């Protein structure tokens, strides 16, 4: 009997380890031989812990599992109260186009054999037979853009590094996934770490780099453990170590280190302070050498592009947003989790359809798209298609494709204040608009909360200064949540004044 | 409790373990914190000397990052997520109840040295919030009863 129990952080946070121990104990009590595989998560977080039993007809899912549901796994599976049927046939799975996440939840994350048997290393093998320029051209042609949020074409960045003169070049994976509502990087690293390693190895071939780093945030202990183990396995198997090797580095709790230049400073052992650009990291990055800095999902999308070709990948998507995007649906939702699909679904299709509205059953008031630096969108934006340009056109951004849903109990003035407070806490301190602006922003919103509506134009003006004058996205984009809250939910900013009158 | 010679020796070992790394300061500080539970003041000049940095530079790095402690934490460390996705599921209410139950605010330790309460901005558990971390263990859909886990 083969049973899959996720090792994914979300499953573990919902007691997957306890369920795993109980299944082992129950199997011993019954004298049944059980092989337990700790897989990644399928992304259906509302069903976690989702346990799968391998059968002749496929993998049957059971969830959300409790201790009381364990004995039933050894009886009539069809009659199990938590039976979800074949996992592959679940509507959540059937609706997706899983390219980057094809193996996540399917394979044993630390089995290189499983990885290869499911299409792994095909991209790297093809890249090894290509010239540097051909690999770069393939990635450029695919239309892949940075999935960390900025949306910069990955192939163009690689070309800059590939063409740059330098004794040593580096591939740095930005796995400092600090935005609330985002967990795709974590799920990929926990569920299919070799995909990231393969993507970095292909990037190294394309750019002539010999050394790589994955900078993983310290808040992700399971991802760190899995990636550490995967690097050792890949090195033993010769995937790493000859032309290219890599190290796992751990962050230290600074949100701003998700910004590429402060990440590089942090890797060098400095304070995670933002660097002015130029020089671009592509020309002078880690230790002053040409460096690719890419998000986990950007790098992890490269193996499938090389394996199946640029045209295959580019065929998905809409407008200038090509390929697929792993949506991360979070906050107050009935069905939260990871859903990979081509760009182009509307916000309403995602929130009302896929996510099934709120967990509390109350109406959706706002959806913050793109993490703490993303705008709050009202229902009137629900027709917006999910793409880089589409959201920019609505005064927002898609960022790392995280969506936080709020029901009608949310106080948007409080959310705007939190955005400023967060910026003040996490500001690296290098530029004045962010360092001081965020503190003044918090104070100004407090004035509005006390009924002083004269402070509203001041807040708008301050936001414009932060937007125009900040060095990086932390100070520059904090105005998105603040101004969108103010624009779309003015009643929440006038309540104190009404009360006072 | 380590005496000062032991501390110096242990840090020397850590420095030796990290020799040859590019940009070794963060890995060294993490290792020091794993060993001691915090980064002792006395470690700063020793690390600075080994890496050819000024004490001010090392101090600057220690104090920049939220993870590094300059004093030991309580016997338990309870981290509660304060970020937006958890807020949408009532994280602020959970935090208020926990603070009231423990009688402390963020970054404080109970007078008996039992619990240190810290905010965390995202544990990547955004679809099963509110999220918490209890002594390194992840907890999803947590409520105020999470304080029971740090009662000993």
Number of H helices, E strands in chain B: 6, 4
Q: What is the pTM of this model?
A: 0.97
Sequential DSSP letters for A33-64: --EEE-----SBGGG-S-EEEEETTEEEEE-S
For A18-73, write each residue's pLDDT tens digit: 999 999 999 999 999 999 999 999 999 999 999 999 999 999 999 999 999 999 99
pLDDT for res A500 = 62
Task: Give percent above pLDDT 90 in chain A.
Answer: 98
What whole-number distance in Å separates Cα of residue A44 and Cα of residue A212? 32
Which residue blocks in chain B are alpha helix, DSSP H?
4-17, 25-36, 43-51, 55-64, 84-87, 91-102
What whole-number distance in Å separates Cα of residue A246 and Cα of residue A189? 15
Sort strands A83-86 and A58-62 into parallel, antiparallel or unpaired.
antiparallel
CA-based nearest distance B4→chain A, Å? 26
pLDDT for res B6 = 87
Which conformational region is residue B52 in: left (phi greater than 0), alpha (psi within -120 to 50 degrees), or beta? Answer: left
Query: A259, A224 in Cβ contact below 8 A?
Result: no
Instruction: Check residue A352 and report its DSSP letter.
Output: I
pLDDT for res A376 = 98
What whole-number distance in Å separates Cα of residue A227 and Cα of residue A224? 5
When pLDDT is averaged across residues A227-250 and rounded to a whole number, the result is 97
When pLDDT is averaged across residues A458-480 and rounded to a whole number, the result is 97
Of the two residues A495 and A304, the one the predictor is more confident about is A304
Query: B127, A46 in Cβ contact below 8 A?
Result: yes
pLDDT exceeds cutoff 90 at B70: yes
pLDDT exceeds cutoff 80 at A495: no
Task: Give percent above pLDDT 70 in chain A.
Answer: 99
Assess if residue B11 is contained within a domain. Answer: yes
Which of A253, A337, A404 is the closest to B88 by Cβ? A404
- Chain A CB contacts of B60 under 8 Å are 271
B144 plus B120 within the same structural domain: yes
> How far are the Cα atoms of B24, B43, B57 from residue B52, in angstroms, in the given order?
12, 14, 10
Confidence of residue A496 (pLDDT cuts 50, 70, 90): low
Neighbour-count burial of A76, counting CB atoms closer than 10 A to its CB (0-12 exposed, 13-18 middle, 19+ buried): exposed
- Chain A CB contacts of B124 under 8 Å are 9-10, 177, 182-183, 186, 219-220
B31 plus B86 within the same structural domain: no
Of the two residues A25 and A497, the one the predictor is more confident about is A25
What whole-number distance in Å separates Cα of residue A75 and Cα of residue A166? 63
pLDDT for res A208 = 98
Pseudo-torsion of CA B40, A215, A11, A55, nearest 10°?
-140
Quick check: A372 and B131 CB within 8 A?
Answer: no
CATH for A317-407, options being 3.30.1330.60, 3.10.20.600, 3.40.50.300, 2.20.28.270: 3.10.20.600
Query: A101, A53 in Cβ contact below 8 A?
Result: no
> How far are the Cα atoms of A230, A233, A243, A355 from residue A237, in angstroms, in the given order?
10, 6, 13, 41
For A299-312, write each residue's pLDDT tens digit: 999 999 999 999 99
When pLDDT is averaged across residues B78-102 and rounded to a whole number, the result is 98
Assess if residue B18 is contained within a domain. Answer: yes
Assess if residue B121 is contained within a domain. Answer: yes
B40 plus B11 within the same structural domain: yes
What whole-number distance in Å separates Cα of residue A292 and Cα of residue B61? 24
Distance of CA A424 to the CA centre of its chain: 23
B80 plus B138 within the same structural domain: yes
CATH for A2-89, options being 2.50.20, 3.30.70, 3.40.50, 3.40.30: 3.40.30
Please provide the average confidence, as pLDDT, over all residues in chain B: 96
This model of the complex carries an ipTM of 0.97
Cβ neighbours of residue A459 closer than 8 Å, sequence gap 6 or more:
A441, A444, A445, A448, A482, A486
Assess if residue B50 is contained within a domain. Answer: yes
Which of A253, A332, A406 is the closest to B67 by Cβ? A253
State which fold the A412-500 domain adopts.
Answer: de novo design (two linked rop proteins) (1.20.1440)
pLDDT for res A280 = 97
Region(s) of chain A under CATH 3.10.20.600: 317-407
> How far are the Cα atoms of A30, A147, A337, A340, B68 from residue A344, in angstroms, in the given order?
50, 15, 18, 12, 43
Region(s) of chain A under CATH 3.40.30: 2-89
- Helix B4-17 vs helix B43-51: crossing angle, to nearest 10: 30
B83 plus B31 within the same structural domain: no
CA-based nearest distance B15→chain A, Å? 14
pLDDT exceeds cutoff 90 at B152: no
Nearest CA among A112, A111, A110, A90 for reference residue A42 = A90
pLDDT for res B2 = 58
Assess if residue B130 is contained within a domain. Answer: yes
B35 plus B83 within the same structural domain: no
pLDDT exceeds cutoff 90 at A232: yes
Assess if residue B69 is contained within a domain. Answer: no
Query: A39, A107 in Cβ contact below 8 A?
Result: yes
Q: What CATH number does the domain containing B121 carry? A: 3.40.30.10
B80 plus B59 within the same structural domain: no
Phi/psi for A40 (5° steps) reads -75, 180
pLDDT exceeds cutoff 80 at B3: no
What whole-number distance in Å separates Cα of residue A144 and Cα of residue A203? 13
Q: Helix %, strand %, coil % for chain B, to 5?
A: 45, 10, 45
State which fold the A112-314 domain adopts.
Answer: Rossmann fold (3.40.50)
B142 plus B100 within the same structural domain: yes
Phi/psi for A274 (5° steps) reads -65, 145
When pLDDT is averaged across residues B36-50 and rounded to a whole number, the result is 97
pLDDT for res A497 = 65
Confidence of residue B4 (pLDDT cuts 50, 70, 90): confident
pLDDT exceeds cutoff 60 at A143: yes
CA-based nearest distance A134→chain B, Å? 31
For A322-365, write each residue's pLDDT tens digit: 999 999 999 999 999 999 999 999 999 999 999 999 999 999 99
B59 plus B85 within the same structural domain: no
> How far are the Cα atoms of A24, A112, A189 from residue A232, in angstroms, in the given order?
28, 11, 14
B86 plus B115 within the same structural domain: yes
Which of A6, A10, A176 is the mutation pick for testing B, counting most B CBs within 10 A? A10
- Chain A CB contacts of B125 under 8 Å are 9-10, 13, 183
B59 plus B94 within the same structural domain: no
For B113-136, write each residue's pLDDT tens digit: 999 999 999 999 999 999 999 999
Region(s) of chain A under CATH 1.20.1440.230: 412-500
For A162-217, write each residue's pLDDT tens digit: 999 999 999 999 999 999 999 999 999 999 999 999 999 999 999 999 999 999 99
Phi/psi for A189 (5° steps) reads -65, -35
Please provide the average confidence, as pLDDT, over all residues in chain A: 97
Quick check: A255 and B121 CB within 8 A?
Answer: yes
Domain count, chain B: 2
The parent domain of residue B19 ranges over 4-64
What whole-number distance in Å separates Cα of residue B142 and Cα of residue A207? 45
Residue of A nearest to B138 (CA): A13
Q: Diameter of chain A by CA atoms? A: 75
CA-based nearest distance B1→chain A, Å? 26
Tally the residues of chain A: 501
B50 plus B109 within the same structural domain: no
Confidence of residue B43 (pLDDT cuts 50, 70, 90): very high
Q: State whether residue A173 is helix, strand or coil.
A: strand
Assess if residue B123 is contained within a domain. Answer: yes
Assess if residue B110 is contained within a domain. Answer: yes
Cβ neighbours of residue B72 closer than 8 Å, sequence gap 6 or more:
B36, B37, B38
């Amino acid at each position: 009997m083969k049973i899959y129990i996720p090792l994914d952080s979300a499953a573990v946070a919902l007691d997957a380890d306890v369920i795993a121990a109980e299944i082992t104990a129950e199997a011993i009590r019954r004298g049944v031989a059980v092989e337990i595989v700790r897989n990644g998560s399928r992304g259906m977080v509302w069903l976690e812990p989702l346990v799968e039993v391998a059968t002749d007809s496929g993998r049957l899912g059971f969830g959300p599992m409790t201790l009381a549901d364990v004995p039933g796994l050894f009886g009539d599976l069809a009659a199990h109260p938590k039976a979800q049927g074949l996992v592959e046939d679940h509507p959540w799975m059937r609706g997706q186009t899983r390219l980057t996440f094809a193996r996540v939840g399917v394979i044993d994350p630390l089995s290189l054999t499983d990885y290869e048997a499911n299409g792994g290393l095909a991209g790297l093998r093809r890249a090894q037979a290509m010239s540097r320029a051909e690999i770069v051209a393939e990635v450029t042609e695919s239309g892949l853009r940075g999935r960390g949020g900025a949306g910069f074409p990955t192939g163009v960045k690689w070309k800059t590094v590939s063409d740059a003169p330098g004794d040593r070049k580096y591939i740095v994976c930005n796995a400092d996934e600090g935005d609330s509502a985002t967990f795709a990087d974590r799920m990929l690293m926990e569920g299919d770490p070799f995909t990231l390693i393969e993507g970095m190895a292909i990037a190294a071939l394309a750019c002539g780099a010999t050394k790589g780093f994955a900078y993983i945030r310290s808040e992700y202990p399971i991802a760190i453990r899995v990636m550490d183990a995967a690097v050792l396995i890949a090195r033993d198997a010769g995937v790493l170590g000859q032309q290219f090797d890599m190290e796992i580095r751990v962050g230290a709790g600074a949100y701003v280190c998700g910004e590429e230049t402060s990440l590089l400073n942090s890797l060098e052992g400095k304070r995670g302070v933002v660097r002015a650009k130029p020089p671009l990291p592509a020309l002078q990055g880690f230790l002053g050498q040409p460096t690719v800095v890419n998000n986990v999902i950007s790098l992890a999308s490269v193996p499938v592009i090389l394996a199946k070709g640029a045209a295959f990948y580019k065929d998905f998507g809409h407008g200038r947003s090509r390929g697929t995007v792993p949506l991360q649906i979070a906050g107050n939702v009935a069905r939260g989790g990871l859903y990979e699909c081509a760009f182009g679904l509307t916000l309403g299709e995602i929130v009302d359809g896929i996510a099934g509205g709120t967990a509390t059953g109350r109406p959706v008031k706002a959806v913050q798209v793109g993490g703490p630096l993303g705008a709050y969108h009202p229902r009137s934006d629900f027709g917006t298609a999910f793409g880089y340009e589409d959201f920019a056109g609505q005064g927002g951004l898609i960022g790392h494709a995280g969506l936080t849903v709020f029901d009608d109990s949310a106080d948007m003035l409080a959310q705007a204040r939190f955005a400023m407070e967060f910026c003040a806490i996490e500001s690296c301190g290098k530029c004045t608009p962010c360092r001081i602006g965020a503190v003044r922003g918090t104070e100004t919103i407090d004035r509005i909360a006390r009924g002083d509506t004269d402070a509203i134009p001041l807040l708008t003006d301050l936001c414009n200064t932060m937007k125009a004058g900040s060095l990086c996205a932390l100070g520059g984009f904090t105005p998105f949540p603040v101004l969108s809250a103010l624009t779309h939910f003015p009643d929440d900013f006038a309540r104190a004044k009404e009360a006072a009158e | 409790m380590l005496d000062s010679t032991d501390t110096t020796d242990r840090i020397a070992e850590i420095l030796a373990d990290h020799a040859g790394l590019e940009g070794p300061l963060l890995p060294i500080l993490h290792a020091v914190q794993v060993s001691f539970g915090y980064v002792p003041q006395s470690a700063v000049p020793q690390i600075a000397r080994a890496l050819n940095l000024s004490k001010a530079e090392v101090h600057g790095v220690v104090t920049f990052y939220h993870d590094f402690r300059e004093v030991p934490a309580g016997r338990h460390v309870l981290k509660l997520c304060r970020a937006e996705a958890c807020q949408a599921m009532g994280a602020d209410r959970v935090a208020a109840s926990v603070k009231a139950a423990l009688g402390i605010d963020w970054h404080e330790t109970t007078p008996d040295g039992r619990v240190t309460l810290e905010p965390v901005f995202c544990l990547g558990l955004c679809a099963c919030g509110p999220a918490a971390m209890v002594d390194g263990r992840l907890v999803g859909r947590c409520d105020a009863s999470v304080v029971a886990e740090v009662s000993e």
